[in-house]
A and B are shown apart, each in its own frame.
Chain A
Amino acid sequence: GAVVSQHPSRVICKSGTSVKIECRSLDFQATTMFWYRQFPKKSLMLMATSNEGSKATYEQGVEKDKFLINHASLTLSTLTVTSAHPEDSSFYICSARPTSGRINEQFFGPGTRLTVL
């Protein structure tokens, strides 16, 4: 139980294009989902907290107009990297916190590797 999926697992795009990454909780509902960015050989950096039906809360230094987050349902959050540039190339990971049961835990998706050419 408590499986989180991400799609796509890898994406390569041209500079200036937008890329959408989906995060789904497959067997539980998640009012809150989190988006992280992981640089090579570095830890996870929280980008934003996504709450179903409301605006996401962004961490300091994260551009909300560049990283658009939508959490339209209790099982789906999307991250759209707008006008992507090579410096946006990274590993993006989402996590989801169950609405009931193991509410003190976050369950992580497998990540999406974005490469911007």
Chain B
Amino acid sequence: AQSVSQHNHHVILSEAASLELGCNYSYGGTVNLFWYVQYPGQHLQLLLKYFSGDPLVKGIKGFEAEFIKSKFSFNLRKPSVQWSDTAEYFCAVNGAGGYNKLIFGAGTRLAVHP
């Protein structure tokens, strides 16, 4: 069955700490991978995406993610978080070609304390 698993439901960090949010997926075939962010009271925004090529992708606001095919993982990282990174983060996957529905993980709620 197609699924996305995010290991951490709730993460609390202090400013300047490093961040890594785990994401593993189960999907037959070639995939597209996404990380979305939802700031409080705002709509989903795309942080970064992986379609093919370099497995280390860089997104907006200093975020990056690494696709490790052998581990079916696409973990999100940021070396130094800011208070403004407080948000909910969703990992998502769909089949390559873009015509397949997105499967979302349960989300990780990140709280960054000043």
List the interface of chain A (C-beta within 8 A of B).
32, 34, 41-44, 46, 49, 93, 95, 97, 103-106, 108-111
Contacts and interface: CB of A to CB of B under 8 A. Distances in A.
Contact of A111 (B43, B49, B90, B109): B43
B25 interface: no
Interface stretch (B58-66, B72-80, B96-104): B96-104
Q: Which of A32, A93, A105, A110 has the most CB of B within 10 A?
A: A105
Contacts of A111: 43
Interface residues of B, number: 21
Interface string B28-43: 0000101010000011
B112 to A, nearest CB: 18
A49 B42 CA distance: 23
B57 interface: no
A46 B34 CA distance: 16
A95 B36 CA distance: 13
B51 interface: yes
Main secondary structure of the interface of B (DSSP, over half): loop
B78 to A, nearest CB: 21
Interface of B: 32, 34, 36, 42-46, 49, 51, 90, 97-99, 101-102, 104-107, 109
Nearest to A102: B98
A93 B44 contact: yes
Given A43-B90, A43-B104, A44-B104, A104 B98 contact: yes
B49 A105 contact: yes
B44 A104 contact: no
13 contacts: A34-B102, A41-B107, A42-B106, A43-B90, A43-B106, A44-B90, A46-B102, A93-B43, A104-B32, A104-B51, A105-B34, A105-B46, A105-B49
A1 to B, nearest CB: 13
A108 B101 contact: no
